Amino acid sequence: MSQTMRLAGGRIDRATTLSFAFDGRLYRGHPGDTLASALLANGVRLMGRSFKYHRPRGPLSAGSEEPNALVELRSGARREPNTRATVAELFEGLVATSQNRWPSLAVDALSVNDRLSSFLTAGFYYKTFMWPKAFWEKLYEPAIRRAAGLGRLSGEADPDVYDKGFLHCDLLVIGAGPAGLAAALTAGRAGARVILADEDFLPGGRLNAETITLDDAPARAWVEATLAELASLGNVRLMTRTTIYGAFDHGIFGALERVTDHLAQPRPGTPRQILWRIYAKRSLLCAGATERPIAFENNDRPGIMLAGALRAYANRWAVAAARDVAVFTNNDDGHRTARDLAAAGIRVAAVIDSREDAPDTPGVPLFRSAVVTGSRGRLGLKAITVRTAGGRTEEIACGALGVSGGWNPNLQLTCHQRGRPRWDDALATFVPVGGPSGLAVAGAAAGIFSTHGALRGGAAGARAALADLGIAASLPALPRAEDAPVRIAPLWQVKGKGRAWLDQQNDVTVKDVTLAHQENFRAIEHLKRYTTLGMATDQGKTANIPAIAVMAELTGKPIAEVGTTIYRPPYTPVSLGALAGRSRGAEFRPRRLTPSHHWAEGQGAVFVEVGNWMRAQWFPRPGETHWRQSVDREVLATRQAVGICDVTTLGKIDVQGTNAAAFLDRLYCNGMAKLAVGRVRYGLMLREDGMVKDDGTVARLAEDHFVVTTTTANAIAVFRHMEFCRQCLWPGLDVQLISTTDAWAQFSVAGPKSRALLERIVDPAFDLSNEAFPYMACGGVTVCGGLRARLFRISFSGELAYEIAVPARYGDGLIRALMAAGEDLGVTPYGTETLGVLRIEKGHPAGNELNGQTTAANLGLGKMVSSAKDAIGTVLSRREGLNGPDDIRLVGLKPLSPADVIVNGAHLMTEGSPVDAAHDQGWVTSSCHSPHVGHAIGLGFLKRGDRRTGEIVRVVNPLAGTDIRAQVVAPCFVDPEGVRLRG
Amino acid sequence: MAEALAPLTVFGKTEARLDRIGALSIAERPDIALASLAARRERLTSLEAAAPAVLGTALPGVSRVAGGTIRAFWTGPAQWLVEAPYDTHEDLAAVLKQNLGGDASITEQSDGWCAFDIEGDATIALLERLCAADTRAMTPGDVLRTTIEHMGCFLICEQAGHAFRLWTARSSALSLHHALTTVAAALP
Amino acid sequence: MLIPHPLLGPRDAQEFTYLGDAALIDRPDGLAADAAERFFDYGYLRDNPPGEHRELWFHEQGDRSWLVVTRNITTHEIVRVELARDVALARGRGR
């Protein structure tokens, strides 16, 4: 038998039949169904187990507020846990599995938790699993995690892609029900840029779920005519399957569009979902309202639903949740459910209305001043017990019960900027107050519950919003619609002995709230944390207000005073995949490639990420099996012949202007004002607090033109700092800055044969002799027959060395030309590892030493800080705390036993002293094997290091259990006199 | 003397890259020279007076593009980037320096940036998946700086709703191109 | 947030980098006799009032202007935005 509970009519496409599976059984449904409606049509009410007690559960709602009917949708890597069956669109071949049960949904071993419920009340794990302490991690937590919880992750990489996007509009209309459609129509006709977003796949909102008429015709006719007109307007963008999940500052909204969730799998390449950032000048919240239940004993059985949901299933999806139904209400809207169900041919066994003045529905037995006190049916509702006005208890057989405790405006977005809603006694609900600037509310979201009010409110809201923007709009002719007043008498719970659920997803009952009250967790935010009320994936959309009301009753305070918890984004869950967008895996961040990248790839280079840059780390040669072999070879080749390294990644900033020299003189702690044209100087940049910020070279190309370099890692921060100095500190200086990092391909050419090599590349007109182009010279040259280039005679390695730059497009050509020209000289390309070894051997500080916590004095560069001028950081570099007698100084470290290895991070200890923090003398910052000296070497900071040369210290690494002895030496292992680099 | 060096595109090729994806074309433009122009302090007025001789028109105002064969677009207060055909203006920075050097700081930028011309009916649909700019509202001659997948770009509107030029940093141009082409392929 | 840039109009705060209190413009004279004292105040003492706050933002992914943004830090309302350069010149930092 198939779809035994299907009624006539509905908004489904009966011409097409879809097959789907739930827990391995095959069923049929139609396009337009949700998984929940299709299962109900097939007579399946049991769809899940609750979080803590493993109670059998069916859908409570027919929308995104669903707490119970959560399933794992799809299979394999696409398996998505905790998917709400009430919003999952049915597609051919859909596979869903129930969750949080074993071995099956009907027979669940952990439903024993339900019997143990008296031990599992709010806060039970705080109280129960405290001792012994070690048991928490090993025993309690894993056991609790296995028992509690919902769906399982697939554990596999998500095979789908997610996009991001950005949209701009005059008016964002949130929700395409009667208010939203009227608003979009008003604004669309006025020519404004409009976005109309709705979480549903079928626009129309509550009009899809009702039998009401507009202008005496079915509401659908007006909805369709309106949608057709909106589609014809180029200025209106209708976004279905799109949830506005957050309202951020200044009219920015987050939206999640489920582009292909309704397909078995996305078309290749197309995104599964798009996370939109919407910039809206004005916005109108027309998100409707959510019905709330009434708590009574065992009110969570499959078959007990919100009355409006029962009605929606019948009207929109042509599904009867059961053959015999009852309705329990405290307001007139519940009676609408009874009328609609009766009209659809479902037997309405009774309407139980807690009010004395409940209206009559012809042909339906009515219990006035009566309440439902309990229910029966292990895996699905069989009967309810009713306490009548006279106090009699009566059992009424029914397979479904529609419960209506009233409706709550969906005002969450008005609270995302700390808006606090106001309690309205007449409506017995919270209504929005204020909200983010530029956002107004219309329709049921504003507490206007009639269709007439929604239509008019939407249109008026749109007109007012546009008037604010100076766009005139006229109100469209709107259809006649019902305008029933709200008649409600608040009823939150029916007191009884058993458990009555408030938050069905997190299994929070009235008893838990009572316990929280007893234990003084009475503030609403404390109640939430103590009981986990509203903290499940549904964020308590059906639970919060009743729980607030119960707490109000317990404390004797009016609900208005208890208030709500703060609603925060997201309104409904947003997958991490959507938040990540395309920033994952290799696309996590942009990759910057050096001009020699393609060439280096061809050389088989091993690459390393340095910030966003991909740099060659070393260049293995055939036969080399360990990176050290390659690096040792590259180091020795550079020291003995010539090596080439792509140093394009260093930040290059062009500094021009008549005051450029004065500007740089204030920026660097050492003097720059008198740097001669055609000369380079090492520059040390401090932060204003006296710590070293960055270092680099300053080259003066002309009287009013410098190019300065920064470390690769700090390029962006240094540029920002320089602009700060230029614009905020010294706006009177004539100086202009621009980054030229990418414009020039720059190579370091280092080693005793570097001049010989460059003389073959640089055009003969340029004299590279030591006299004509000495150490620290710079200037424009041409290479390879006229190509403009820049040459700097600077050295990071301590060797005779140059850096040569050509426009980036010629970088590939230049490295190839250098390699070809230097073949007989033994030219060797080297990577960042060799770069590191060369600079450690020479004792140049780099990132490990310039860690933001070291001063020029610490680095042994204290004399560079000029006291004759006012540069950034000079004053505070002199402060007492940075100039103590015990200050650390950069030293070199040489192991006493040549076989010992020095490890970064190891601490330096005086011989004979205990190894503890109190006796700490410093630490190793950089270390490597030096092929030049033939053993490990290190750089480090040591207290009074400049006065301890020759001392033997212990190099202790308690993590690895090593403890070696090393001699303190000057931080320079190569050519301390600097003969080579000047040669 | 060493042989002349071969220039390569960001893709490591000698020919410019062209992708056609659905209704879109994405064309790499290595044939445009670029230089930055920044007015010296208190020389803006004389720079503005001298500029038309080079550009054929006045320097563009905030967020605008102006010029002919040599055209400039605004990048910041008293700052512009200047485009010209590379074949005839490889020395663009030198030419500008000669004409405007007294009033402005000029820096060669041809290889600091990489241009992609995006054209087709799906251009807006592509750009709205990539950057926060309100490209639908841009008219020809509008320019703004924006980010695409964390990469800074200049976006010039050449034809409203249909054709845009994107300038991006040369070193990350492949990542940008990857973003452009994969998203273009994902458009409905 | 949207920061109404004085030249470019509203721009997403994601394009900006935040630095801190606009008082950082008022860098003391490092050659003054009491420089140490004044730099201590400049470097470390900040008011942290609720309500309106003047702060420095850098339009890094835009026109590279430093801005002084007057912002209510409890409501995020932006009251006024100025080019920091203009503010600095007005405060006599021209030389």
Q: Which amino acid is at B57?
A: T
Q: Binning pLDDT at 50, 70 and 90, where does residue A107 land?
A: confident
Q: Which amino acid is at A323?
A: R
Is C94 in the A-facing interface, judged by CB distances under 8 Å? Answer: yes
CA distance A479 to A494: 41
In tens, the pLDDT along B49-99 reads: 999 999 999 999 999 999 999 999 999 999 999 999 999 999 999 999 999
In tens, the pLDDT along C4-62 reads: 999 999 999 999 999 999 999 999 999 999 999 999 999 999 888 899 999 999 999 99
Query: Any idea what the Cα angle at residue B103 is, between residues B97 and B105, rounded to 5°?
Result: 55
Name the C residues in 10-69 with CB < 8 Å from any A CB: 10, 12-13, 17, 19, 24-25, 27-31, 35-36, 39-40, 42-43, 56, 58, 60, 64-66
Q: Is B99 strand, coil or helix?
A: helix
CATH of the domain at B149: 3.30.1360.120
Q: Do C43 and A730 touch (CB under 8 A)?
A: no
| Chain A residue nearest residue B105, CA to CA | A656
Chosen for mutation from B130, B147, B167, B168 (greatest number of chain C CBs closer than 10 Å) is B147
- Judge if B173 and B162 occupy the same domain: yes
Is B160 a domain residue? yes
CA distance B93 to B91: 6
The domain A162-288+409-468 having CATH identifier 3.50.50.60: the answer here is yes
Q: Do A731 and C94 touch (CB under 8 A)?
A: yes
Q: Binning pLDDT at 50, 70 and 90, where does residue A125 land?
A: low
* Domain limits, CATH 3.30.1360.120, in chain A: 593-648+743-830
Could you tell me the two tokens for A951? 């001392």
Is B147 in the C-facing interface, judged by CB distances under 8 Å? Answer: yes
Could you tell me the two tokens for A562? 């208890």
Query: Any idea what the Cα angle at residue A810 is, between residues A809 and A815, rounded to 5°?
Result: 130
Is B44 a domain residue? yes
Answer left, alpha or beta for residue A5, where phi above 0 means left and psi between -120 and 50 means alpha. Answer: alpha
Among 3.40.50.1400, 3.30.1360.20, 3.40.50.10320, 3.30.2270.10, name the CATH number for the domain at C2-90: 3.30.2270.10
Quick one: pLDDT at residue C31? 95
The nearest CA of chain C is from the CA of B13 a distance in Å of 29
Q: Is the pLDDT of residue A962 over 90?
A: yes
CA distance A769 to A697: 22
Buried b (16+ CB within 10 A) or exposed e, A883-911: eeeebbbbbbbbbeeeebbbbeebbbbbe
Could you tell me the two tokens for A684? 């040390």
Query: In the 8-state DSSP scheme, what is residue A821?
Result: H
Is C37 in the B-facing interface, judged by CB distances under 8 Å? Answer: no
The nearest CA of chain B is from the CA of A588 a distance in Å of 9
Q: What's the count of helices (H) and strands (E) in chain C, helices before strands?
A: 2, 6
Residue A908 CA, chain-centre distance (Å), reads 41
CA distance B72 to B156: 11
Residue A23 CA, chain-centre distance (Å), reads 33
| Chain C residue nearest residue B134, CA to CA | C11
| Chain C residue nearest residue A435, CA to CA | C75
Quick one: pLDDT at residue A177? 98
Query: Any idea what the Cα angle at residue A609 is, between residues A605 and A610, rounded to 5°?
Result: 115
Task: For residue A791, report the phi and psi dihedrals to the nearest 5 degrees.
Answer: -125, 130
Q: Do C85 and A871 touch (CB under 8 A)?
A: no
Q: Do C63 and B145 touch (CB under 8 A)?
A: yes
Q: Is A287 strand, coil or helix?
A: coil
Which chain A residues contact residue B176 at CB under 8 A? 590
**What's the domain count of chain B?**
2
Q: Is the pLDDT of residue A131 over 70?
A: no
Residue range of the domain that includes B136: 18-29+111-186
The nearest CA of chain C is from the CA of B55 a distance in Å of 22
Closest CA to A495 of A554, A427, A417, A440: A554
Q: Which helix (H) or strand (E) holds A816?
A: helix A811-821
* Domain limits, CATH 3.10.20.440, in chain A: 1-156
CA distance to A17, A35, A61, A84, A94, per residue, from A20 (Å):
10, 9, 21, 16, 5
Quick one: pLDDT at residue A101? 84
CA-derived radius of gyration, chain C = 14
CA distance A897 to A895: 5
Is A627 in the C-facing interface, judged by CB distances under 8 Å? Answer: no
ipTM here: 0.99
Query: Any idea what the Cα angle at residue A101 is, between residues A95 and A103, rounded to 5°?
Result: 90
Note whether B166 and A608 are within 8 A (CB). no
| Chain C residue nearest residue B153, CA to CA | C61
| Domain A883-969 in this protein, CATH class | mainly beta
Is B50 a domain residue? yes
Neighbours of chain C (3+ CB pairs under 8 A): A, B
Which chain B residues contact residue A193 at CB under 8 A? 136
The nearest CA of chain A is from the CA of B12 a distance in Å of 6
Task: For residue A184, report the phi and psi dihedrals to the nearest 5 degrees.
Answer: -65, -40
Q: Do A730 and C89 touch (CB under 8 A)?
A: no
| Chain C residue nearest residue A874, CA to CA | C30
CA-derived radius of gyration, chain A = 37
Query: Any idea what the Cα angle at residue A130 is, between residues A128 and A135, rounded to 5°?
Result: 110
Is B9 a domain residue? no
Q: Do C30 and A252 touch (CB under 8 A)?
A: no
Which residues are A27's β-sheet partners?
Answer: A20
Handedness of CA A963, A964, A965, A966 (dihedral sign): negative
Q: Do A731 and C89 touch (CB under 8 A)?
A: yes
Q: Do A732 and B38 touch (CB under 8 A)?
A: no
In tens, the pLDDT along A241-298 reads: 999 999 999 999 999 999 999 999 898 889 999 999 999 999 999 999 999 999 999 9
Of the given ranges (A147-151, A459-463, A610-614, A729-733), which has the lowest mean pLDDT? A147-151
CA distance A559 to A556: 9
In tens, the pLDDT along A816-872 reads: 999 999 999 999 999 999 999 999 999 999 999 999 999 999 999 999 999 999 999
Q: Do A783 and B30 touch (CB under 8 A)?
A: no
Is B5 a domain residue? no
Q: What is the mean pLDDT of residues A566-573?
A: 95
Q: Is the pLDDT of residue A130 over 70?
A: no
Q: Is the pLDDT of residue A2 over 90?
A: no
Which chain A residues contact residue C17 at CB under 8 A? 720
CA distance A514 to A122: 10
CA distance A742 to B172: 9
| Chain B residue nearest residue C62, CA to CA | B145
CA distance A729 to A688: 12
The nearest CA of chain A is from the CA of B57 a distance in Å of 24
Note whether A150 and A47 are within 8 A (CB). no
Q: What is the mean pLDDT of residues A167-174?
A: 98
Which chain C residues contact residue B152 at CB under 8 A? 60-61
Q: Do C8 and B75 touch (CB under 8 A)?
A: no
Task: For residue C18, report the phi and psi dihedrals to the nearest 5 degrees.
Answer: -95, 140
Quick one: pLDDT at residue A641? 98
Is B77 in the C-facing interface, judged by CB distances under 8 Å? Answer: yes
Helices (H), chain C: 35-44, 84-90
- Judge if B138 and B98 occupy the same domain: no
- Judge if B40 and B97 occupy the same domain: yes
Q: Do C39 and A729 touch (CB under 8 A)?
A: no
Domain end, chosen from B108, B135, B166, is at B108
Query: Sheet harboring A94-98: ordered strands across?
Result: A25-29, A18-22, A94-98, A70-73, A80-84
Q: What is the mean pLDDT of residues A95-111?
A: 87
Topology at the third CATH level for domain A651-739: Alpha-Beta Plaits (3.30.70)
Which chain B residues contact residue A704 at CB under 8 A? 105
The nearest CA of chain A is from the CA of C95 a distance in Å of 5
Q: What is the mean pLDDT of residues B26-32?
A: 98
Q: If one looks up domain A593-648+743-830 in CATH, what number appears?
A: 3.30.1360.120
Domain end, chosen from B108, B126, B148, is at B108
Out of B40, B129, B172, name the one closest to residue A590 (CB): B172
For chain B, the straight-line distance linking the first and the last C-alpha, in angstroms and rounded, comes to 55
Q: Do A250 and C94 touch (CB under 8 A)?
A: no
Q: Do C1 and A727 touch (CB under 8 A)?
A: no
What is the percent of chain B with per-residue pLDDT over 70, rounded to a whole number? 99
| Chain C residue nearest residue B64, CA to CA | C8
CA distance A475 to C41: 60
Which chain C residues contact residue A870 at CB under 8 A? 29-31, 35
Q: Binning pLDDT at 50, 70 and 90, where does residue B1 land?
A: very low
Q: Is the pLDDT of residue A128 over 70?
A: no
CA distance to A921, B44, B63, B93, C24, per residue, from B55 (Å):
65, 16, 17, 13, 40
| Chain B residue nearest residue A707, CA to CA | B107
Which chain C residues contact residue B77 at CB under 8 A? 7, 63, 65, 83, 85
CA distance C50 to C46: 13
Q: Is the pLDDT of residue A901 over 70?
A: yes
Three state DSSP letters for A660-701: HHHHHHHHECCCCCCCCCCEEEEEEEECCCCEEEEEEEEEEE
Q: Binning pLDDT at 50, 70 and 90, where does residue A427 land?
A: very high
Which chain A residues contact residue C78 at CB under 8 A? 250
Place of tokens 């006190």: A373
CATH of the domain at B98: 3.30.70.1520
Topology at the third CATH level for domain A1-156: Ubiquitin-like (UB roll) (3.10.20)
Size of interface A-B (CB pairs under 8 A): 165
Chosen for mutation from C66, C71, C83 (greatest number of chain A CBs closer than 10 Å) is C66
Name the A residues in 816-835 with CB < 8 Å from any B CB: 817, 821
Could you tell me the two tokens for A400? 């479904």
Of the given ranges (A115-119, A561-565, B65-69), which has the lowest mean pLDDT? A115-119
Note whether A730 and C93 are within 8 A (CB). yes
Which chain A residues contact residue B3 at CB under 8 A? 784-785, 817
| Residues in contact with A972: Cβ distance below 8 Å, sequence separation at least 6, in sequence order | A798, A842, A843, A892
Which residues are B79's β-sheet partners?
Answer: B38, B76
Q: Do B38 and A656 touch (CB under 8 A)?
A: yes
Three state DSSP letters for B31-96: CEEEEEEEECCCCHHHHHHHHHHHHCCCCCCCCEEEECCCEEEEEECCEEEEEEEHHHHCCHHHHH
The nearest CA of chain A is from the CA of C7 a distance in Å of 16
Mean pLDDT over the full length of chain A: 95
Chosen for mutation from A235, A592, A727 (greatest number of chain B CBs closer than 10 Å) is A592
- Alpha-carbon dihedral of residues A979, A980, B2, B6, nearest 10 degrees? -120
Note whether A868 and A859 are within 8 A (CB). no
Domain end, chosen from B68, B86, B108, is at B108
CA distance B167 to B115: 4
| Chain A residue nearest residue C17, CA to CA | A720
| Chain A residue nearest residue C68, CA to CA | A728
Q: What is the mean pLDDT of residues A30-34?
A: 98
CA distance to A195, A285, A528, A534, A564, per residue, from A412 (Å):
19, 10, 17, 13, 11
Of the given ranges (A199-208, A417-426, B2-11, C78-87), which has the lowest mean pLDDT? B2-11
